[in-house]
Chain A
Amino acid sequence: SQTIHQWPATLVQPVGSPLSLECTVEGTSNPNLYWYRQAAGRGLQLLFYSVGIGQISSEVPQNLSASRPQDRQFILSSKKLLLSDSGFYLCAWGVQGGTEAFFGQGTRLTVV
């Protein structure tokens, strides 16, 4: 069966520090991969999605970037965190040509 792993579960980082959140999927090949951010009172915002290795689409301009170095690995990064980057980050995967997404457990990021 397919599983998705996302880590760390919680993270507290100072302003200006770098960020790296990792997400991996097991049990499937060539998935669509997504990064979402959930900020208080603002629902779920799509940040990046990827349909294949090295293919990244960004939905909103921001202080973050994403990379897909391997088929089932999706990384969210920042060179210098801002206070406004605080939030709950969710990784998800979907089947190519499918319609639903399957989510990881999320990372609670607090920038102080």
Chain B
Amino acid sequence: GNSVTQMEGPVTLSEEAFLTINCTYTATGYPSLFWYVQYPGEGLQLLLKATKADDKGSNKGFEATYRKETTSFHLEKGSVQVSDSAVYFCALFNYGGSQGNLIFGKGTKLSVKP
């Protein structure tokens, strides 16, 4: 079946540090991949996406590259800010899946200290 595994948190970084949040997936076929962000007390917002192998999604300084050979979609940012503190979810969408097609990882909480 389809599944998403992302690194356990919480992750605590100092401002301007480099961020990596690992995400790997299991899926048949060619899923689309997403990163969503959830700020405290709010719903989820789409951060970036990639729809095919070697695509790079980017937004607000965050990047993730769809790696089919390693079934990964790691999230990176070169210099984090306090305002990036949030929970980050990796997700995949796969046509024909049994779980309503959109499947999320468990989320990684990021705290950025000034």
- Taking Cβ atoms with an 8 Å cutoff, the residues of A that contact B are 6, 32, 34, 36, 38, 41-44, 46, 49, 57, 59, 90, 92, 94, 99-106, 108
The count of A-to-B residue pairs whose CB atoms sit within 8 angstroms is: 60
A102-B100 contact given A42-B106, A43-B107, CB 8 Å threshold? no
Collect the chain B residues with CB atoms within 8 Å of residue A108's CB.
41
Contact A43 B43 (CB under 8 A): no
User: What is the distance, in angstroms, from B20's C-beta to the closest C-beta of chain A?
Assistant: 19
Complex-state Cα separation, A6 to B89, whole angstroms: 21
Known pairs A34-B102, A43-B105, A94-B102; list 15 more (Cβ under 8 Å). Answer: A6-B43, A43-B104, A44-B44, A44-B89, A44-B104, A46-B100, A49-B100, A59-B99, A90-B44, A99-B34, A99-B102, A100-B102, A101-B46, A106-B41, A106-B43
Inter-subunit contact B103/A46 (CB<8 Å): yes
Question: Quick check: A101 and B102 within 8 Å, CB to CB?
Answer: yes
Give the secondary structure class of A's interface: strand
Return the chain B residue nearest A10 by Cβ: B41
Closest chain-A Cβ to B38's Cβ sits at a distance in Å of 8
User: Which residues of B are interface residues toward A (Cβ below 8 A)?
Assistant: 32, 34, 36, 41-46, 49, 51, 89, 93, 99-107
Which residue among A46, A49, A101 has the maximum number of chain B CB atoms within 10 Å of its CB?
A101
In whole angstroms, what is the CA distance A94 to B100 when docked?
11
Determine how close the nearest CB of chain B comes to the CB of A77; give it in whole angstroms.
Answer: 18
B43 engages A90 (CB within 8 Å): yes
Contact between B43 and A103, CB atoms less than 8 A apart: yes
Q: Is the CB of B107 within 8 A of A100?
A: no
